[in-house]
Amino acid sequence: MRQEKQVSCLEADRPFPAAVRLGEDAEVVQIRLFRPGDGSAVADLVQRCLREVNSRDYPAQIIERMCRHFSEERIAQLADERQMFVAEQAGIMGTVSRDGNRVFTMFVHPEVIGQGVGRRLMRHIELLAAAEGCDYMETGASITGHGFYRRLGYVDVRTSETEFGLNYILRKPLP
């Protein structure tokens, strides 16, 4: 029964209620599917996060290469290839995408990091994957994001080198 509710919400492209509040007077953050008009805002969010947060762990040339990679056009292409979600309040505050049990493109606006937006996005896609029968989630994490995933219960499986530098591969069992 629960799975049917989630599927019908996805098909209707309605926002999902979120449990995260940003401040006492803040509106509730909504998690919803990416829409075609979201490309520019998501690209801006990702690029801002890369420049303001990931730049602590990566050299400028890698950050600029990642920013070029996550263009508005590339974001739209990724949203066509897999399920992409956004966290929204008074604008897009975070994004994550998934393909089955694989997590991709997880970014949170620098001004709301640490306020539960990323945890809420991850919980959302973990619940979807579990409802589809997946036993675990897997993700590739940057140096910057590695600690975030570890705090959510993901464990290191291996590391790899990518065109953007070191990548941690992590997994988390699903209930």
Q: Which residue has the higher pLDDT, 109 or 22?
A: 109
pLDDT bracket for residue 90 (50, 70, 90): confident
The runs of H, that is alpha helices, within the chain are 2-12, 39-52, 60-69, 72-81, 117-131, 143-151
Structure confidence by residue, pLDDT tens digits, 56-65: 999 999 999 9
pLDDT bracket for residue 9 (50, 70, 90): very low
60-69 helix and 39-52 helix, angle to the nearest 10 degrees: 170
Return all residues near 163 (Cβ < 8 A) that are at least 6 apart: 65
Q: Does the pLDDT value for residue 111 go beyond 50?
A: yes
CA distances from 75 to 62, 106, 157, 160 (A): 18, 12, 27, 23
CA distance 167 to 160: 5
Ranges 7-11, 124-128, 139-143: which has the least confidence: 7-11
- Percent of the chain past pLDDT 90, that is, above it, reads 77
Q: Does the pLDDT value for residue 18 go beyond 60?
A: no
